[in-house]
Amino acid sequence: MDEPNQNPAVEIAAAEAFALLLETACEDFELAQDLIAGRLRVASASDAQTDNTVVSRKLELRSLRASPRIQMALAKSFLFHARRANRVCTFNKAALNIDRADRKQFLKDTDPLTAVRDVNEHGFDGKGSIKPSMHEQEGGTLDETSMVIAGPTKILMGPLNLYDYYLAVDRMRKLAGFEALFRKKAVKRAAQSGDLSGPGWRLFPVQGGRGEIQLYDIFVDGSWRGSRRTIKQCYEVLIALI
């Protein structure tokens, strides 16, 4: 007799998985930027001590090496999570409720990450694997597994400046990240209860000639986004916009 599964799989909605990948990718890249800009600093515990032991000196040396190693790890984490977000967006377009133009632009902007990700994951697998190759960048050359940093907005890996791809992922995060998901869910709850306002949006009633209210104007983040819609149409517009 088969034993019952003690660890059942957890089902995660595609929209939530997509949001998690976007948020993780952006957070990793922003942490790398803070380290590069000196807003965050890596230090060993021995910084506060006066001993001169071999262990202490080793930790101090590692603290000097730690920041660039962490920056590389964060950059590669961004690369992998952004590429995974691209894949989820490709195969779950119906479930993500993202405007077609925004979805196509995101895929176009992040498709070049695939080749660099593949080399980092499979470049040293052996025969038949995708091999690293040299690319000219800023007067020098580097392969897909190397990284050159010339500032928070110039983080070079192979043929790419990862900052350009961070901008694309961050734009999608604003459209489909956790905050956007929260706001969409709030609109759906408002539609069920008939509320006229929620986080970042408000419906203003439009009075008819005899003072009756049948239509509404739509404002999102203080900006007008639609006029003279029925309450049902308003919620449909809000779900598409937020």
Residue 217 in any domain: the answer is: yes
* Cβ atoms 142, 133 nearer than 8 A: no
Report whether pLDDT(218) > 60: yes
Asked if the structure places residue 2 within a domain, the reply is no
- Does residue 146 share a domain with residue 130? yes
Residue 21 lies in a domain: yes
Return d(Cα 41, Cα 67) in angstroms, integer.
7
Same domain, 56 and 138: yes
Residues facing 179 on adjacent strands: none
74 and 114 assigned to the same domain = yes
Q: Is the pLDDT of residue 77 over 90?
A: yes
146 and 165 assigned to the same domain: yes
Number of compact structural domains in the chain: 2
Asked if 49 and 150 sit in the same domain, the reply is: yes
Distance, CA of 166 to CA of 172 (rounded, Å)? 10
Q: What band does 82 get if pLDDT is binned at 50, 70 and 90?
A: very high
Per the CB < 8 A criterion, the answer to whether 74 and 31 are in contact is yes
Per the CB < 8 A criterion, the answer to whether 218 and 242 are in contact is no
Enter the pTM of the model.
0.78
Sign of CA dihedral 151, 152, 154, 157: positive
User: Model confidence over 83-141: pLDDT tens digits?
Assistant: 999 999 999 988 898 889 999 999 999 999 999 999 988 877 777 668 889 999 887 89
List pLDDT tens digits, range 51-60: 667 777 777 7
- Cα-only R_g, the chain: 24
Task: Report if residue 4 sits inside a domain.
Answer: no
Whether 172 and 116 share a structural domain: yes
User: Would you say residue 48 has pLDDT above 70?
Assistant: no
Contact by Cβ (8 Å): 121, 115: no
**Residue at a domain's end among 176, 197, 224:** 176
104 in the same domain as 74:
yes
What value does the mean pLDDT of the chain take? Answer: 86
pLDDT digits (tens, 9 = 90+) for 168-209: 999 999 999 999 888 888 888 887 888 888 878 888 888 776
Same domain, 195 and 164: no
Domain span including residue 222: 182-241
Task: Among 156, 176, 196, give the residue marking a domain's end.
Answer: 176
8-12, 107-111, 145-149: which is most confident: 107-111
